[in-house]
């Protein structure tokens, strides 16, 4: 029997199995000469702090952050759209993201992302070198933080309490949502599905007990 896990605003509580979802009030558009809405998101209060997250824990957001880590771990593949925060230009491509936990009960870990494009026959046309990253879950908010191990250490947050532009993480089904730059002005949208091979199935069996 599967555990039921819901991550959403209290006003939207409903019986949905194994589900993480969220969004944000602000409209998703470009404001011409004005700055995009996410430039001052949360008044700049997002910050990287994963010091104590090698152990899982519960919170009062409607579900266990440990269970969220169970669902997140594994390999995901699908579409990604990157928005340049300075110019508003968007680049769309495919991405393969793998999340690995530091230990069996950790809510943080490491990961890799491989970006690629497909030709008209659906075969891989171009593929970038793997991007390595660190990730962790905030045990108080269920937010997902991702820091790429690039020269500028670009960091993004996926907001679990947002109402329109947050994220949706569902066991063995989908991982979609917005990654908001915290030390940069960029925005990433992902629409990923779990990779269906034996290893990935083993890694994402989170609530099958």
Percent of the residues in the chain that have a pLDDT greater than 70, as a whole number: 64
What is the pairing mode between strands 74-83 and 90-101? antiparallel
Lowest-confidence pick of 26-40, 132-146, 158-172? 26-40
- Choose among 182, 178, 169: nearest CA to 82: 178
pLDDT at 50: 58
Q: Kind and range of the H or E element at 203? A: helix 198-203
Tell me if 170 is assigned to some domain: yes
- Measured in whole angstroms, how far is the alpha carbon of residue 54 from the centre of its chain? 18
The whole domain housing 157 covers 6-25+51-203
Tell me if 89 is assigned to some domain: yes
Tell me if 36 is assigned to some domain: no
Encode pLDDT of 10-25 as tens digits: 222 233 333 444 444 4
In the chain, the number of structural domains is: 1
What's the CATH number where 161 sits?
A: 2.40.128.120
């Amino acid at each position: 029997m599967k555990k039921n896990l819901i991550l959403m605003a209290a006003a939207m509580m409903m019986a949905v199995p194994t589900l993480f979802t969220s969004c944000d009030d602000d409209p998703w558009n470009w404001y011409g000469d004005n700055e995009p809405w996410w430039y001052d998101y949360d008044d700049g209060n997002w910050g990287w702090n994963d010091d104590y997250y090698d152990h899982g824990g519960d919170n009062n957001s409607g579900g266990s952050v440990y269970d969220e880590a169970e669902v997140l771990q594994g390999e995901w593949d699908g579409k990604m759209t990157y928005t340049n925060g300075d110019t508003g230009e968007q680049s769309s491509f495919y991405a393969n993201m793998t999340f690995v936990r530091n230990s069996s009960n950790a809510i943080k870990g490491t990961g890799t992302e491989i970006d690629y494009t497909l030709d008209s026959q659906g075969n891989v046309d171009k593929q970038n070198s793997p991007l390595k990253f660190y990730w962790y879950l905030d045990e108080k908010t269920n937010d997902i933080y991702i820091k790429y191990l690039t020269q500028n250490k670009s960091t993004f947050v996926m907001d679990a309490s947002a109402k329109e532009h947050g994220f949706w993480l569902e066991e063995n089904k989908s991982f979609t949502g917005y990654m908001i730059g915290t030390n940069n002005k960029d925005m990433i949208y992902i629409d990923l599905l779990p990779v269906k091979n034996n290893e990935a199935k083993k890694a994402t069996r989170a609530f099958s007990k």
